Structure 1
Amino acid sequence: MNAPVLSQSRCADCPIRHRAVCARCDADELEQLDAIKYYRSYEAGQPVIWSGDQMSFVGSVVTGIASLTQTMEDGRTQMVGLLLPSDFVGRPGREGAAYDVVATTDLVMCCFRKKPFEDLMERTPHIAHRLLEMTLNELDAAREWMLVLGRKTAREKIASLLAIIARRNAALTPGDDTDTAEFDLPLTREAMADYLGLTLETVSRQMSALKRDGVIQLAGKRHVTVPDMTRLLDEAGTDSED
């Protein structure tokens, strides 16, 4: 069943405005985007698109988290990525979806009708350039994630994932203190284990160890406070300037 369409709001008030595909658009270009956009909400666990399905839209995650999953011929599945606020869904010029996209949490997306968006890209270099920049950033992130999965220890993997979520959360509120971080973990520990290639027991053990060592503070299972981002990045084996 299709998710309900949300009421429209002004682009200037959008919480991801400075990071999304429209980040460099001027007022006239935003008006053109506004004419082809609509909002759609999904409940946690609801599919956004299945691999191979024809996509009638592209868009950006406004709030919430979605997972990218690939299914092998024998039915096994692997989570291959996360879509966080401001991340772009869909590929202009490509008819079908490459991955299953499923809402991990309650999700709101700003969607654009695909063909009008493709036409607008040809007339609006700001959009095309920004999308290219986001695609290259995504490629860099994928290469970095190969290192996380292939070479880092279980503790470093957990710390890396926490650091990524903390940094992306902080990026949505420019000017905030970057020495500390506080956020709700968008993944269950089972999902973290799947994404990181670890067992559930290992994830739970390493989360408890990071808490015991004062690297993070936990309220319940999901609310995370990072008192010192530099220390978390050190635990992740990540350059603080990266």
Structure 2
Amino acid sequence: MEVRRQDIHNSDIPVVCRACEARHGGVCGVLTPEQLCELNKHSSRHRLDSGAEVIGQGETVVNYSNIIRGVVKLTKVMADGRQQIVGLQFAPDFLGRPFIEESAITAEAATESEVCNFPRQVLDRLVKRTPELEHKL
């Protein structure tokens, strides 16, 4: 099986993806130009103020995100009501757990941030077809 090396200047890659840090160091780096185009058709970028919630604990997961810029704080509310910080994520980290329907944590912007969101269904479909993507996640 021949592995095709992807050129970051490839005209088949969506313009917005060419310079994206998640494209080079994140999960999108294992996608073919065709898969990037498919994902890009459904993606949207969002700027977040510090403190803005990306997803809340217990919410249904409808989108996954790549962090483009900034820091995202991951927290979990304990049974006694205390909030525990369970992690920090930075560009080009991926936010979400594939094939899980309910978020076990809250993710909120710790600084001004930017994320690239894409529907869960689209990425789950790509994961099923792309073993490299599943491994990267």
TM-score (norm 2): 0.83
Equivalent position of 2:46 in the other structure: 40
Q: Choose which of 90, 93, 111 in structure 1 pairs with 2:99.
A: 93
Q: How far did 1:126 drift? A: 3.0
Q: How far did 1:65 drift? A: 0.2
Name the aligned partner's letter for residue 26 of structure 2. Answer: A
Aligned 8 A contact 2:58 2:103 in 1: yes
Structure 1: how far apart are the matches of 2:135 and 2:79? 36
Equivalent position of 1:30 in the other structure: 36
Greater RCO structure (CA 8 Å; 6+ sep): 2
Equivalent position of 1:109 in the other structure: 115
Structure 2: how far apart are the matches of 1:64 and 1:9? 22
Equivalent position of 2:27 in the other structure: 21
Q: Count residues with an aligned counterpart.
A: 124
Q: How far did 1:96 drift? A: 0.7
Equivalent position of 1:173 in the other structure: none
Flag the 1:122–1:41 CA change in 2: closer, same or farther, 3 A.
Answer: same
Name the aligned partner's letter for residue 27 of structure 2. Answer: V
Residue 77 of structure 1 pairs with residue 83 of structure 2 = yes
Kindly provide the CA deviation profile for residues 18-76 of structure 1, in whole angstroms up to 9, marking residues without a partner as x.
11111122212211221221112211011111101011101211100011111112211
Aligned 8 A contact 2:22 2:93 in 1: no
Specify which structure has the higher proportion of helix.
Answer: 1
Aligned 8 A contact 2:39 2:122 in 1: no
Give the unaligned 5+ runs of structure 2.
Answer: 1-13
Q: How far did 1:124 drift? A: 2.3
Structure 2: how far apart are the matches of 1:53 and 1:18? 30
Name the aligned partner's letter for residue 127 of structure 1. Answer: L
Name the aligned partner's letter for residue 62 of structure 2. Answer: S
Q: Between the two proteins, what is the percent identity of the paired residues?
A: 32
Name the aligned partner's letter for residue 46 of structure 2. Answer: R
SS across alignment from 1:111: strand
Structure 2: how far apart are the matches of 1:55 and 1:103? 17
Equivalent position of 1:221 in the other structure: none
Equivalent position of 1:58 in the other structure: 64
SS across alignment from 1:108: strand
CA RMSD of aligned residues (A): 1.6
TM-score (norm 1): 0.49
Name the aligned partner's letter for residue 21 of structure 2. Answer: P
Structure 2: how far apart are the matches of 1:31 and 1:90? 21
List 4+ stretches of structure 1 deviating above 4 A.
none
Structure 1: how far apart are the matches of 2:22 and 2:122? 21
Q: How far did 1:9 drift? A: 5.5
Specify which structure has the higher proportion of strand.
Answer: 2
Name the aligned partner's letter for residue 117 of structure 2. Answer: C
Aligned 8 A contact 2:68 2:114 in 1: yes
